[in-house]
A and B are shown apart, each in its own frame.
Chain A
């Protein structure tokens, strides 16, 4: 008996040995800091002096007394609600076009994916700023048609929409996933439907979409979480201010300002945990509603 446990342990030991790098990373770099930040969210930690316990004060202020939280929540939700559907719609449209078996597919696929590779980078955000500036490329183009464009990035009415556009432009990764999903749709279903006289639109609505729903669901969840976490574009385009007049003050950017701009790390930790709760809630909601619209073939 003892011998067999020892033997079994030895078997497990090698497994744990192989898992060690991952486990060390998980406990040391993910779980540890996460727990530390949970603790800090109940303190007035200012990065330099030892944290002092303040109980729920940070959470109370966030939920009842902070006008900038309200501003940043509004901006963030608007960004999520606009960027996710547009981006996915665009990704699906391009995927459908590419799926028609055009020549040079790998090339197009790579080209369309390119913005996603560049997308999170600082360089593209800087470029975006230039392109949409008052005397930028967009307005020079509009000027050919006699249209005088606004200063897109520095006008509070438009600044957020330039960021939405930047996000939509990075449609590559959901597009690749859609494309993979489209490849799974059995051709005979389309043939049968065509014989029954179904139009292209009907085939799309009644075959493609239902079979694609698991993929759509996956993309919605992933992209929503990504959109909630967006930080770099707003940070670069607004120069870290979230301006003009808080028009691009993403929740994550506000969190960053409180933490590193004004040395209120405890408060920022509380902001971060509320973001976790909101993302978890939204994700849970998507899973709950998925019962009603996602079809699994088996």
Chain B
């Protein structure tokens, strides 16, 4: 009897406590961390959205962490190993499979229609963030690869703009002509994109080969690669692109790109990066499609999610984190702050709200994406594990050719050997 009474009292106390805790929890301060790569322009916009979110949800504060692309993945891997990932993580198409399959990301399906509002999304833009049938990432914007070029320089030199339709050999001729016409020491027509993964992927697709097969193998032959390296070696010889010791200054970020450093007029980039590039460049920049096969050839470009928001599997606040994610991709006010810096918003509702607020540059990007949409092909198979190393091998092998350590033919063979090894190790 006694015992029962104690039990009942304990029960009462316990439920009172849990009630109180429930109430306290709703207002309890929640601290979220978000982590993304990008330049300052992106950081400013992201912080503004974070601030707006906090204003509407005063109990949630957000700490933003940002680094450049070059350091992003090593740091994320370290944090993942230490079970210390940020709650909200910017994710790339090239890595989402690795992280999802290693169970580092939270499947978002249970939140759809609740905390996560995907009502403005098409099925195909949701599918872009799916791995093995579950949603692990929500697109922050649609983009495609794009040449970003210094329109002022081209117009002043009076050379035909590097614009669609343009074959690879025409691109070579026009950039060489620009180098000559500008005639400034330390300036060349284009950056050396023999090291560019996206450049290679588009070039290969135009020859009917995927960069990676469905089985996760490299999709091209040593002969294809030899031709690729030879194309860029010819570009160096003709003076169309920057020499290798200059290209080596490029660390793969906007602020060290040849275009921003004033060494070249063309960058092999992504369409959404126009915002970041324009912020660092005085002359008027414009977008153009990557070159294609000979005239009338089909483009190897494709529309893709520029990047995702993903949620760490280790987050203590899944509800709040997903709510923040949803705010970024579905709230029109957040959309206006973000603009098209991460690409064209995937949600049609946000897109409609954002379109009238865009400046001239934003409109150019919107025009570009709609211009290419009937020229692009399907999304290729996702990059397998080890794809990150493939990009590093590409940079190094292209340098070996540039510094004349290898002939293009040798480079093609060596590249394929190394890449096959890297992909087999995962």
Task: Check if A210 is an interface residue, CB within 8 A of chain B.
Answer: no
- Selected from B81, B99, B248, B392, the residue in CB contact (under 8 A) with A151 is B248
B74/A260 in contact, CB under 8 A: yes
Q: Does B395 lie within 8 Å of A241, measured CB to CB?
A: yes
Contact with B along A42-83 (1 / 0, CB 8 A): 000011110000000000000000000000000000000000
Which B residues touch A275, using CB under 8 A? none
Establish whether residues A261 and B73, one from each chain, have CB atoms under 8 Å apart when the complex forms. yes
A134 within 8 A of B: yes
CA distance A239 to B389 in the complex (A): 15
B78 interface hit (Cβ, 8 Å): yes
Residue numbers in B under 8 Å from A240 (CB-CB): 70-71, 74
B80 pairs with A151, CB closer than 8 A: no
- In the bound complex, CA of A244 to CA of B252 (Å): 14
Among the 9-residue stretches A163-171, A262-270, A276-284, the one with 4 or more Cβ atoms under 8 Å from chain B is A262-270
Q: How far is the CA of A133 from the CA of B248 in the complex (A)?
A: 10
CB within 8 Å of B: which A109-154 residues: 133-135, 150-151, 153-154
Distance in angstroms from A262 CB to nearest chain B CB is 5
Q: Mark B68-106, 1 if CB is under 8 A from A, else 0.
A: 001101100110110000000000000000110011100
The 19 listed contacts between A and B (C-beta, < 8 Å) are: A47-B78, A47-B81, A48-B80, A48-B99, A48-B104, A134-B246, A154-B246, A156-B399, A156-B403, A240-B74, A241-B395, A241-B396, A243-B396, A243-B399, A260-B78, A261-B389, A261-B392, A262-B386, A265-B81
A49, A244, A257, A260: the one within 8 Å of B103 (CB): A49
Contact, CB under 8 Å: A241 / B103: no
CB of A156 within 8 A of CB of B405, answer yes
Q: Does B359 contact A (CB under 8 A)?
A: no
The reply to whether the CB of B374 lies closer than 8 angstroms to some CB of chain A is no
CA distance A152 to B403 in the complex (A): 14
Specify which chain B residues have a CB less than 8 angstroms from the CB of A241 in the assembled complex: 392, 395-396
Q: What does DSSP make chain B's interface, helix, strand, loop or mixed?
A: helix
Contacts of B400 in A (CB 8 A): 245
Q: Which residues of A contact B248 (CB under 8 A)?
A: 151, 153-155, 243-244
Complex Cα spacing A239 to B71, Å: 9
How distant is the Cα of A155 from the Cα of B251 in the complex, in angstroms?
15
Is A246 an interface residue when CB atoms closer than 8 A count as contact?
yes
A14 to B23, CA, bound (A): 50
> Contacts of B186 on A, CB cut-off 8 Å?
135
B81–A133 contact, CB under 8 A? no
B102→A49 contact, CB < 8 A = yes
Nearest CB in chain A: distance from B80 CB, A: 5
A: interface residue count bin: 20 to 34
B residues contacting the other copy or chain, number (CB 8 A):
33
**B21 part of interface (Cβ distance < 8 Å):** no
A263 touches B71 (CB 8 A): no
A151 CA to B103 CA in the complex, in Å?
A: 44
Asked if B17 CB lies within 8 Å of chain A CBs, one says: no
Given A47-B80, A48-B103, decide whether A155 and B245 contact each other with a Cβ distance below 8 A: yes
A24 nearest CB across to chain B (Å): 20
**Set of chain A residues within 8 Å of B386, measured between Cβ atoms:** 262
A282 to B81, CA, bound (A): 33
For the complex, is B276 an interface residue (Cβ under 8 Å from A)? no
Contacts of B78 in A (CB 8 A): 47, 260
The 7 A-B pairs at the shortest CB distance, nearest first, are namely: A154-B248, A47-B81, A151-B245, A48-B102, A260-B74, A239-B251, A154-B245
A150-208 CB contacts (< 8 Å) to partner B: 150-151, 153-156
- Minimum CB–CB distance from A47 to chain B (whole Å) comes to 4
Whole-angstrom CA separation of A239 from B73 in the bound complex: 14
A243 engages B395 (CB within 8 Å): yes
Beyond A134-B245, A244-B399, 13 additional contacts (C-beta under 8 Å) are A47-B78, A48-B77, A49-B103, A150-B245, A239-B251, A244-B244, A244-B245, A244-B248, A244-B403, A260-B77, A261-B74, A262-B388, A262-B389
A151 and B246 within 8 A (CB): yes
Evaluate contact between A239 and B70: CB separation under 8 angstroms: yes
**Chain B positions within 8 Å of A156 at CB level:** 399, 403, 405
Closest to A68 in B: B418
**Assembly CA distance A47 to B83 (angstroms):** 10
